[in-house]
């Protein structure tokens, strides 16, 4: 065995606290090590060349790289030694940067630890076995969870490449939040004008299937081979028979607050959420429909000219296979009713940004008039309060929601456009307008649209008569301010969906302390998750405006397409392996394996001279978790790359 050890300075990242040369010298003394050196940047081209050259010159057969975390460069060095003719699984990394030089002070102890980490890696590599990649087929279909602008864009991109995509949307229509907006910053395009064509494109694409009013029930499998159960909630309207003629919802006697209009308007029990809905097929809300609550009415069924109404429709579960999954579930608005000082959400004339969007929409419930919900009169003095729930550890989330500054500016502008007499007062802490043409937009609002920007948070709002008294401060002038307002608009932050955690757990993707899904790397892999084959886009990962949502949507589709275009998927051979001679056939491992990756097989036992049942691992399914190994009392099942011998060897040299 000829092991080569290569220690990296990483500039000063390692060398500043670890005596790298000393590590290299110490490593040279370890059993089996025939070559040891140090270099400034091991991962650079010259660094890799040093490895390759040493392998040739010293006939090395195993390699240890002492540098950064294997999560960064394990692949790099596997490739590097492979190029030099060694099996790529005969290389180990000692993490002397993240786990050593960066977290400990300069000194002997740190160098000593680095040496030990190398000793452990040398021990492990001495027990490595050469392994070969395995290959599995790929299901050439992409699942997109969430049909907001992000999900729609992903579907369009995938369909453009002629691969099939399936959108699963919980609501009766796709479109997401954007569907409810009037205009969008910074260009003030009408939201419907830019969203509707996209919705139509997906709905007409032969490659895209849309399941609205549906949810994900279960996800199993792994990259290239996900099996997904989709629950289609009963729409009570046959989507194939309905023509969207609209007779039914015109006749329905029920009126309940419309979710789409944020409760500002009303809708029947059978309804389409908004006129451009896709699909343009109504849904019966069984909680308010008289047929379901009181077993009477049935008008819609009587009037439907196409017999599309079906009260007996039931939940339907469909199971499909996918090669990749794109998560685009978006966000919800922060619920500001936790603020007692702002009236616990009880004041009628305190509304949120989404309310305002509906109000200002000329096809919305107020016909584009900005009114006081309490009495329907036009609002003149309108106060906007930014950072509601955002940047507030006490009552909300610590992060900045990133786009409420911008939509508030948009609202202030639209307010003036709709009512030239109105005055906007914007309470802000900072204005975060870092985007193309964003700062210019805010400037325009302040300059041309006369919005008064006041720098300070509001301490209290209370009702007095039909006015709202808003008590704030302007810290720039050092003054307190009290405004008698008709309407207060809360720029509530963007937070994770209520079911984000359960979805993440179903998909086995991580989420952060704010329940936002976590990307694989914040800079280098912003749309990937650490679970291969699952990608993120839109506001479910972090607050994003429409341009960012669309950009990440295309990025995620490219990542998914990158899988689709491959014929088969190379899989790491770091999976479980059974030694049939040792296996007693007890099936304990089958019980333990969360992925059902183990099955039984009959073998001819040469010693017993009879057939015997043992188990075997299904290569494409095993994820390499190693859970089975601890279940086996015979040590008959072991995990490649992290085998019992490898780990015991590591422990032995401690």
Partner 1 sequence: MKWFISQETIRSPFKRILERDCGEKVSLCYQCGKCSAGCPIAFQMDYLPNQVMRMIQLGMEEHVLSSRTIWLCASCLTCSARCPREIDVAEIMDYLRRRAYRKGIIPLEETEIPLFNKIFLRNIELFGRLYEMGLIGMFNLLSGEFFKDISLAPKMFLKGKIGIFPKRPKHMKELRKIFKNSEKLGRVKRSRLLQPRLIFLNVFRKFIGKVERLK
Partner 2 sequence: MNKSQIPDHSPQKNSGDRNLKAPIKDFEPKIVGFLCNWCSYAGADLAGTSRIKYPPNIRVIRVPCSGRVNPLFVLNCLMNGVDGVLVSGCHIGDCHYSEGNFYARRRFAILKRLLEYIGIDPRRFQMAWVSAAEGERWAKLVGELVEEIKEAGPNEHFGGNR
Partner 3 sequence: MKYAYYPGCSLHSTAKEYDLSTREVANALGIELIEIPDWVCCGATPAHISMHLLSLALPVKNLLLARRIGSYDIATCCAACFSRLKIANKFMRDNPRHRAKVNKILGEEYQGEIKVRHFIDILINDFGMKNLAPRITKPLEGLKVACYYGCLLTRPSDITCLDDLEEPHLMDDLMRVIGAQPVNWPYKVECCGASFSLTKTEIVLKLSNDILQMACDQGAEAIVVACPLCQSNLDLRQPKINKKFKANFKIPIFYFTQLIGLSLGIEPKKLGLKKHIVNPLPLLKEKGLLG
Ligand X SMILES: Cc1cc2nc3c(=O)[nH]c(=O)nc-3n(C[C@H](O)[C@H](O)[C@H](O)COP(=O)(O)OP(=O)(O)OC[C@H]3O[C@@H](n4cnc5c(N)ncnc54)[C@H](O)[C@@H]3O)c2cc1C
Contact residues for partner 1 (CB under 8 A)? Answer: 341, 387, 391-396, 429, 455-460, 471-475, 478, 480-481
- Give the C-alpha separation, 68 to 97, whole Å: 5
Q: Does 624 bind partner 2 (CB under 8 A)?
A: yes
User: CB neighbours (10 Å) of residue 218?
Assistant: 12
Size of the residue set binding ligand X (CB under 6 A): 41
The residues facing 227 across adjacent strands are 220, 321
* Location of structure tokens 């040398």: 122
Q: How far is the CB of 159 from ligand SF4 (least distance, A)?
A: 26
- Give the C-alpha separation, 390 to 380, whole Å: 27
**For residue 186, is the peptide bond before it cis, meaning its omega torsion is within 30 degrees of 0?**
yes
* Location of structure tokens 């302007």: 474
- Give the C-alpha separation, 589 to 581, whole Å: 16
State the angle between helix axes of 644-652 and 108-126 in degrees (0 to 180), rounded to the nearest 10. Answer: 150
547: three-class secondary structure by DSSP: helix
Q: Which does 344 bind (CB under 5 to 8 A by kind): partner 3, partner 2, ligand X, none?
A: partner 3
DSSP string over 358-386: HHH-TTSTTTT--B-TTT-PBP-EEEEEE
Q: Does 533 bind partner 2 (CB under 8 A)?
A: no
Q: Does 471 bind ligand SF4 (CB under 6 A)?
A: no
Q: How far is the CB of 440 from ligand SF4 (least distance, A)?
A: 12
Which part of the chain contacts ligand SF4 (CB under 6 A), choosing from 112-120, 302-310, 445-453, 503-511? 302-310
Q: Which does 393 bind (CB under 5 to 8 A by kind): ligand SF4, partner 3, partner 1, none?
A: partner 1
Give burial (CB, 10 Å; 0-12/13-18/19+) of 256: middle
Burial 70-95 (b: 16+ CB within 10 A, else e): bebbbebbbebbeebebbbbbbbbbb
Q: Dihedrals φ, ψ of 59, to 5°?
A: 50, 45
E strand or H helix at 468? strand 467-474
Size of the residue set binding partner 3 (CB under 8 A): 8
- Give the C-alpha separation, 60 to 54, whole Å: 7
Q: Does 231 bind ligand X (CB under 6 A)?
A: no
Q: Does 223 bind ligand SF4 (CB under 6 A)?
A: no
Q: Does 464 bind partner 3 (CB under 8 A)?
A: yes
Binding mask 155-194 for ligand X (x = CB under 6 A): -------------xxxx----xxx--x--xx---------
Q: Does 389 bind ligand X (CB under 6 A)?
A: no
DSSP state of 19: -
* Residue selected from 627, 641, 642, 645 as contacting ligand SF4 according to rule CB under 6 A: 627
Q: What share of the chain is helix, strand, coil (3-state, %, to 5)?
A: 30, 25, 45
Q: Does 469 bind partner 3 (CB under 8 A)?
A: yes
Q: How far is the CB of 8 from ligand X (least distance, A)?
A: 22
11 backbone φψ class: left, alpha, beta (φ>0; ψ -120 to 50)? left
* Location of structure tokens 């936790």: 338
Q: How far is the CB of 280 from ligand SF4 (least distance, A)?
A: 8
Do residues 5 and 30 touch, judged by C-beta distance below 8 A? yes
* Location of structure tokens 């908004």: 274
Binding mask 563-602 for partner 2 (x = CB under 8 A): -----------x-----------------x-xx-------
Q: How far is the CB of 553 from ligand X (least distance, A)?
A: 8
- Give the C-alpha separation, 400 to 386, whole Å: 10
Q: Does 43 bind partner 2 (CB under 8 A)?
A: no
Q: How far is the CB of 323 from partner 2 (least distance, A)?
A: 20
Q: Does 432 bind partner 2 (CB under 8 A)?
A: no
Q: Which does 493 bind (CB under 5 to 8 A by kind): partner 1, ligand SF4, partner 2, none?
A: ligand SF4
Residues 523-582 that bind ligand X (CB under 6 A): 523, 538-539, 544-547, 549
Q: Does 462 bind partner 3 (CB under 8 A)?
A: yes
- Give the C-alpha separation, 352 to 365, whole Å: 15
Q: Which is nearer to partner 2, 403 or 588 (CB)?
A: 588
Give burial (CB, 10 Å; 0-12/13-18/19+) of 59: exposed
Q: Does 340 bind partner 3 (CB under 8 A)?
A: yes
Q: Which is nearer to partner 1, 240 or 394 (CB)?
A: 394
Alpha helices per DSSP H over 428-537: 438-447, 500-507
Closest CA to 154 of 523, 164, 402: 164
Residues 559-578 that bind ligand SF4 (CB under 6 A): 575-576, 578
DSSP state of 107: S
Q: Which is nearer to ligand SF4, 12 or 243 (CB)?
A: 243
- Give the C-alpha separation, 243 to 262, whole Å: 27
- Give the C-alpha separation, 605 to 553, whole Å: 55
- Give the C-alpha separation, 629 to 593, whole Å: 9
* Residue selected from 17, 390, 529, 537 as contacting ligand SF4 according to rule CB under 6 A: 390
* Residue selected from 4, 339, 626, 637 as contacting partner 2 according to rule CB under 8 A: 626
Q: What totals of helices (H) and strands (E) does the chain contain, helices first?
A: 17, 34
Alpha helices per DSSP H over 395-497: 404-418, 438-447
Q: Does 160 bind partner 3 (CB under 8 A)?
A: no
Q: Which does 123 bind (CB under 5 to 8 A by kind): partner 2, partner 1, ligand SF4, none?
A: partner 2
Q: Which is nearer to ligand SF4, 144 or 284 (CB)?
A: 284
Q: How far is the CB of 183 from ligand X (least distance, A)?
A: 7
Q: How far is the CB of 270 from partner 2 (least distance, A)?
A: 39
Binding mask 492-531 for partner 2 (x = CB under 8 A): ------------xx--x-xxxx----x-----------xx
Q: Does 131 bind ligand SF4 (CB under 6 A)?
A: no
Which part of the chain contacts partner 2 (CB under 8 A), choosing from 69-77, 160-168, 278-286, 309-317? 69-77
Q: Which does 478 bind (CB under 5 to 8 A by kind): partner 2, ligand SF4, partner 1, none?
A: partner 1
Q: Which does 394 bind (CB under 5 to 8 A by kind): ligand X, partner 1, partner 3, none?
A: partner 1
CB < 8 Å & 24+ apart, contacts of 444-447: 444/413, 445/409, 445/410, 445/412, 445/413
* Residue selected from 138, 142, 145, 242 as contacting ligand X according to rule CB under 6 A: 145
Using CB under 6 A, list all residues that contact ligand X. Answer: 145-151, 168-171, 176-178, 181, 184-185, 215-216, 328-331, 333, 353-354, 357, 403, 407, 410, 497, 499, 503, 523, 538-539, 544-547, 549
Using CB under 8 A, list all residues that contact partner 2. Answer: 30-31, 69-71, 95, 97-100, 102-105, 109-110, 112-113, 116-117, 119-120, 123, 126, 504-505, 508, 510-513, 518, 530-531, 574, 592, 594-595, 623-627, 629-631, 635, 639, 642, 644-645, 647-654
């Amino acid at each position: 065995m000829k092991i080569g050890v290569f220690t990296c300075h990483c500039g000063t990242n390692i060398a500043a606290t670890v005596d790298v040369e000393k590590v290299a010298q110490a490593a040279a003394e370890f059993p089996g090590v025939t070559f040891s050196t140090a270099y400034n940047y091991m991962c650079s081209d010259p660094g890799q060349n040093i490895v390759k050259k040493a392998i040739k010159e010293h006939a090395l057969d195993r390699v240890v790289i002492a540098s950064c975390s294997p999560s960064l460069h394990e692949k790099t060095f596997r490739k590097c030694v492979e190029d030099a003719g060694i099996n790529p699984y005969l290389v180990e990394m000692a993490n002397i940067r993240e786990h050593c030089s960066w977290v400990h002070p300069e000194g002997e102890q740190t160098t000593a630890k680095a040496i030990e980490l190398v000793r452990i890696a040398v021990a492990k590599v001495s027990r490595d076995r050469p392994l070969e990649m395995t290959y599995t087929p790929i299901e050439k279909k992409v699942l997109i969870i969430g049909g907001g602008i992000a999900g729609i864009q992903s579907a369009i991109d995938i369909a453009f490449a002629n691969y099939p995509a399936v959108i699963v949307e919980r609501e009766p229509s796709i479109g997401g939040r954007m569907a409810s907006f009037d205009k969008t910053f910074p260009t003030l395009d009408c939201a419907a004008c830019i969203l509707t064509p996209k919705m139509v494109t997906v709905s007409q694409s032969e490659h895209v299937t849309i399941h609205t009013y549906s949810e994900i029930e279960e996800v199993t499998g792994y990259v290239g081979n996900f099996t997904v159960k989709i629950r289609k909630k009963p729409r009570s309207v046959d989507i194939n028979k309905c023509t969207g003629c609209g007779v039914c919802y015109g006749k329905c006697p029920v009126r309940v607050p419309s979710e789409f209009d944020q409760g500002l308007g009303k809708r029947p029990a059978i309804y389409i959420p908004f006129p451009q809905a896709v699909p343009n097929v109504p849904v019966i809300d069984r909680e308010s429909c008289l047929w379901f609550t009181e077993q009477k009415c049935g008008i819609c069924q009587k009037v439907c000219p196409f017999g599309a109404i079906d009260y007996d429709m039931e939940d339907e579960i469909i199971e499909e296979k996918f090669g990749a999954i794109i998560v685009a579930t978006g966000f919800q608005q922060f619920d500001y009713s936790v603020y007692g000082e702002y009236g616990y959400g009880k004041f009628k004339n305190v509304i949120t940004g989404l309310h305002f969007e509906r109000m200002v929409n000329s096809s919305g419930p107020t016909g584009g008039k900005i009114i006081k919900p309490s009495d329907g009169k036009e609002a003149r003095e309108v106060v906007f309060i930014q950072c509601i729930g955002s940047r507030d550890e006490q009552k909300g989330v610590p992060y900045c929601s990133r786009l409420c500054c911008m939509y508030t500016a948009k609202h202030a502008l639209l307010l003036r456009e709709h009512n030239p007499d109105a005055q906007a007062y914007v309470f802000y802490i900072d204005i975060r307008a870092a985007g193309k043409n964003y700062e210019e937009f805010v400037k325009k609002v302040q300059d041309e649209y006369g919005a008064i920007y006041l720098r300070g948070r509001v301490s209290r709002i209370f009702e007095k008569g039909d006015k709202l008294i808003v008590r704030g401060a302007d810290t720039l002038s050092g003054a307190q301010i009290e405004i008698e307002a008709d309407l207060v608009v809360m720029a509530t932050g963007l937070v994770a969906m209520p079911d984000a955690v359960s979805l993440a757990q179903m998909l086995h993707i991580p989420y952060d302390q704010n329940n936002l899904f976590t990307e694989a790397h914040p800079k280098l892999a912003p749309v990937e998750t650490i679970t291969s084959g699952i990608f993120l886009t839109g506001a479910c990962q972090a607050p994003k405006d429409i341009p960012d949502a669309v950009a990440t949507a295309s990025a995620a589709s490219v990542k998914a397409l990158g899988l689709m275009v491959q014929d088969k998927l190379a899989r790491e051979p770091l999976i479980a392996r059974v030694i049939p001679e040792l296996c007693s056939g007890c099936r304990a491992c089958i019980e333990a394996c969360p992925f059902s990756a183990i099955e039984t097989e009959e073998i001819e036992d040469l010693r017993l001279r009879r057939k015997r049942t043992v188990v075997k691992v299904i290569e494409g399914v095993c994820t390499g978790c190693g859970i089975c190994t601890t279940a086996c009392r015979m040590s008959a099942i072991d995990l490649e790359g992290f085998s019992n011998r490898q780990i015991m060897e590591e422990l032995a040299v401690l």
